[in-house]
Each structure stands twice: as structure tokens, then as C-alpha cells.
Amino acid sequence: MPGIGATMMFKYLAATILLSSATQAFSTVTKTDMASYLSTVPEGPPDAILGIAEAFKSCTDERKVNVCVGAYRDSTGKPWILPSVRKAEERLLADPTVNKEYAPIAGDAKYVDLALGFAYGAQADMTKIAGVQTLSGTGACRVGGHFLSKFVPKPEGMDKVPIYIPNPTWGNHIAIFNNCGMDVRRYRYYNSKTNRLDYDGLIEDLKEAPEGSVILLHACAHNPTGCDPTMDQWKDISDLIKSKKHHCFFDSAYQGFASGDAEADASALRLFVSEGHNVVLAQSFAKNFGLYGERTGTLSVVCNSLEERSAVLSQLKLIIRPMYSSPPIHGSSIVKTVLTDEELTAEYYDNCKEMATRINAMRVKLVEVLKEVGSEHDWSHVTEQIGMFAYTGMNSDMCDELTSKYSIFLTRDGRISLAGLNDGNIEYVAKAVHDVTAGKSITSS
């Protein structure tokens, strides 16, 4: 019996060793097979704007200037938290009833109502506007693009819904709407021969667009050009879009920040609503409230009835739920606190005007100093523009030289963020711009 037991034990140990070896081998093969696809993942290109910001941070040149990123800076070059926003935040922190519970899928309903009132105006019929809270303007564009891609009828012979975006536009628009499954097309917007709005080209391209296309419009302070249509031109654009049965998608990132007057900056949007367009609106509070990192925005759709509103809202929720489930609440709580208090609201409007006034002062001064340092170019297009940016007309070679020779960091399309200028660096920047543009054209032939 002991012999049999020893034999069985030997066989058991041998089997265990073999099984362990096989398991290790299988595990090694499985891990190798599972991980092998990672070696085929290509390196993605850096973001055009954020990559420049990183290069600025790593630059050791004491003269360096960042006129790239679209975020407000005060007269000392520092980020600025609006005093009204700071006060609202202090109230939230001191309120024992404030909690960190999940928001509903559509966000904080009171915040959404206030945000839409800010955009559409006190007289708008909010009962027919379906609105949801979003992850700032980027999230609003993404949710809106998904909705339009799913529900807008495709023009005859097309397998995707076409969306026409201005050329140029905010670079992220292209990737966002491509990822929504839309057919991203361009319409002329900026005439580099005159450094001004290409109104005739815009009208011609919208006329040629297939009937029922989606047309993306910047509500104010067009990024990157700063060139906005006049109200008469907006009226003509509205009429054309109606006649072609196009669908309007407004992106509003600068209301109040553009001119310092939030009501005036909403004029184009409100005109289109008054003329019966079923506007889709992406709204951001990054620039005008300084809530860049709070990701605070809305997406709204102007409907024709209560029934349409209910159906649209239900579909927006179905898009949001598997995408990010529900939005963050801190930024929206700040906006809600400001817009529900008369004193904070009044202070906010003053804060917003202060930002717009400083930006415009830098716009005017840049042109003045360019002339003082000897530039013979006509820079009047810069003073005619509006918003955070100056679209200078400089080409990519000039921009590259500004960075390599002077450590002035900007996008290669010649866009300068005026927020990055102040009394301490504007002469340095103007002299550098004069150096790289002297004797060369800042318009295309």
C-alpha cells in the first residue's frame, strides 16, 4: 500500500508540474497576443494650440511671450478670476446645503434656464427651447453634432449629413463634427486679399450647398478672424438659409466678452430665432465667465411646440447618458449664483466689460506701436476686428520666425491672442512683428 501511495503521489506531482508549465506558457502567449496590438498604435500629432502652449512653458528665453492660447490675462499677464465669480464661489463654499451629488442627465435645470435666458433674452419663449447642460462649448458641439447627424434628413444622394463650417474656424470644429459622423465641408469666410470678411464668397457657398445642409455660424467674435457680419448681412444670411431650408448651428463662446455688452453680442442669434429658425445653439461660459477649467456650457434646440421640445430633450438625454452620464456641477453653480443675484449680475457685467475694454485697448495700441516702430503696412483690419484675437495676415514663415528668433509663441495662421499683450511686452512684440513683416506682404496676391 505504501508503494502505491508513493507512485500516485509521484504521478500527482508530475501532473501538477506539467500543468503549471503549460499554464505559464499559455499565460505568456496570451499576454503577448493581447498586448501585441499596442505596438501598432501610431503616435498621434500634438494639438496645434496646446502643443504651442507646452513649448512656451519649456522655453527658457526670458523675453518669451505667449500670444497663442485663448484665455484672458490681466494687465500683468496673469490669469484673472472675475470678482463676481470669486464672490459666488465663496458663497457656495459657505453654504451648508451645497452638496456634491450627481446632477441629472440634463444638468441643473435652474442653471440651464438662466443660461438660455442669458443667450436668447428675457423675452424668448423658453417653453419651446430644449436645453441641456454640457461640458462647455466643446461638449455642446459634440452633443449637438451627434443629434443633428442622427435626425437631420440627409440630402438626396448623400450618406452623411453635411455640415458647412467657415474657413477658417476654431480647429476643433473639424474633428468634433467628423467624429459625429457628419460630412464636414467648408464655406468661404475670410478674404486674405483684403484681410476682411469674404461676404460674397460666403453667400455664394451657402447658395451652392445642398438643400437642407447644416450651417455652423459663430454667434459673435468669430474665431480666429474677429470678423463678424454686420446686422444687415446677418439678415441676408438668415434669408438665404431659410430659402435653402438649411439648418442653423450657432456656436457662442464670446457673448459679453466680445464687445463688453452681452445683449449686443447676442443680436445675431436672437435675429435668427425671431425669424423662425429652429436654431441649435452651443453655449460656453469659459471665456465670458473665466470658467475655463470648470467645463460649463449648454446645448439647446429651438422647437416649434411643447411636444417637439419634450421629444428633443429625451433624445439629447439619450445621447448624453452613455457619453458622460451627467455634467460637473461647480461651474454651473457659480453661473447660477451670479445670474440669480442682482448685485452679482451687475458686477459680472462690469467685470465682462473690463475684460473687453482691456482687449480692445491692446488691439488699438498694437496698431499704434507698429506704426511708431516703423511699420508701413496697413493694419486697419486689426482694429476693425472684435474679440480676443487679432488675425494679422502674417503667413506661417513669419510666425515661425517670431517664435524661433523672438520666442513669441503663436499659431501659424497669424492669429495673435490680444489677451497675451500688456504694457510690458507690447513694444517688444510690435518690433518683432515689424521685423518679420518689413518689405513683405501681409495679404495674399
Directed axis angle between helix 342-372 and helix 83-94, to 10°?
A: 150
**Distance separating alpha carbons of residues 336 and 108, to the nearest angstrom:** 9
227 CB-near residues (< 8 Å, 6+ apart): 189, 190, 196, 197, 384, 385, 391
Residue 170 annotated to the active site: yes
* 402 CB-contact burial (10 Å; exposed 0-12 / middle 13-18 / buried 19+): buried
**Distance separating alpha carbons of residues 162 and 183, to the nearest angstrom:** 4
The position carrying cell 496570451 is 30
Phi, then psi, of 382 in degrees rounded to 5: -65, -45
- From first CA to last CA, the distance across the chain in angstroms is 103
CA 196 to chain centre: 22
Residue 287 annotated to the active site: yes
320 CB-near residues (< 8 Å, 6+ apart): 105, 106, 132, 134, 143, 326
Total residues belonging to the chain: 445
Kindly name the residue from 228, 251, 265, 413 that is annotated as catalytic. Answer: 251
Kindly name the residue from 170, 183, 198, 379 that is annotated as catalytic. Answer: 170
Residue 239 annotated to the active site: no
Q: What angle do CA 114, 115, 117 make, to 5 degrees?
A: 65
Bridge-based pairing state of the strands 65-66 and 408-409: parallel
Kindly name the residue from 198, 205, 287, 365 that is annotated as catalytic. Answer: 287
Over its C-alpha atoms, the chain yields an Rg (Å, rounded) of 27
**Distance separating alpha carbons of residues 220 and 411, to the nearest angstrom:** 21
Catalytic residues: 170, 251, 287
